[in-house]
Amino acid sequence: MASTRLAPISRRAFASIQSLQPLRLNQTPITISRLNPRKQSIRQPSTPLRPYHSTLHPRLPDHEYTNSQSAILTAALPHIPSHGFTLEALTLGARDAGFLDVSVQLLPRAEFDLILFWLASRRGILRAKVEEGALFTRVAAETGRDAASLSVEEKSKILVLERLAMNKDIKSQWQDALAQMSLLSNIPISLTELHALSNDILSLSGDSSVDGSWYSRRMALSAIYASAEVVMTRDPTPDLSETASFVNRRFEDKLVLKEKVEGVGQCISFWGNTIVGVGRSWGMKI
């Protein structure tokens, strides 16, 4: 009987056969549970939720915008004096930028996005004026002084007045904007924007404090600016002279309060050091 020869196995096929190892008794497939063979195991997520995650405190929305959103918002800014911070101003801006009217849906917060964009753009303009170096020089020249001799408080007051002057053309529309920012869902990001403005003003004024006054300065400046905006909406003067007088008074009160607080602090520090010195002279371990 003639023997039958098997066809030679190629090296690739032989290597594939060697890679097939039989399943051992103590091994369990990855997709099968040890307790219940019919139940597939549940894979844990690669990035588990943070332990401090809370649905009651959602993440604040970003201030960044896409190119299309920025184009619509930029084109809508000139329409604010006539139409306010409204959907109509956004629609007109979309048309001016070459978009369809329905493109305003690219802005999820609608009118509030326009308010935030106005605030952020004015902060940019204020920073550019300081970096150009003409703002402090011009104001100092009006009083016959040198710009280098201006204190941090004086520069801060100049920047507050300059920022308020940017709202002169939209003064009649700003009360509606304040109402939008006072809504419960908009308060966190509105306060964040207010803090950003006060931080920019003090930084541009040369504030270099690194102690606890860093926070108190910004909180005090935020309070002055926020109250000045409310006064501005009721200011009948075309040049906002009543608002400027209010800001001057608030800064004077701030300086007086600061001197009183510092005086009390120095008094407490003096008596504290005196008591410690007397106690040590008596042999007390303090």
Average pLDDT of the chain, as a whole number: 75
Q: Above 70 in pLDDT, residue 38?
A: no
What is the reported pLDDT for 267? 40
Q: At how many degrees (to 10) do helices 87-96 and 67-76 cross?
A: 110
What is the reported pLDDT for 228? 93
Question: If pLDDT is split at 50, 70 and 90, which confidence band does 283 have?
Answer: low
Q: Which of 60-69, 101-110, 144-153, 186-195 has the lowest mean pLDDT?
A: 60-69
pLDDT digits (tens, 9 = 90+) for 58-98: 444 445 778 888 899 999 999 999 999 999 999 999 999 89
Q: Above 90 in pLDDT, residue 213?
A: no
The candidate with the shortest Cα–Cα distance to 193, out of 124, 135, 105, 249, is 124
Q: What is the mean pLDDT of residues 35-60?
A: 41
List b or e across 257-286, with b for residues whose CB sees 16 or more CB atoms inside 10 angstroms. Answer: eeeeeeeeeeeeeeeeeeeeeeeeeeeeee
- Residue keyed to tokens 């005196």: 274
Contact call for residues 113 and 104 (beta carbons, < 8 A): no
Q: Above 60 in pLDDT, residue 165?
A: yes
What is the reported pLDDT for 74? 92
Q: Which of 108-112, 143-147, 175-179, 217-221 has the lowest mean pLDDT?
A: 143-147
pLDDT digits (tens, 9 = 90+) for 227-282: 999 999 999 998 899 999 999 999 888 665 554 444 434 444 444 454 455 455 55
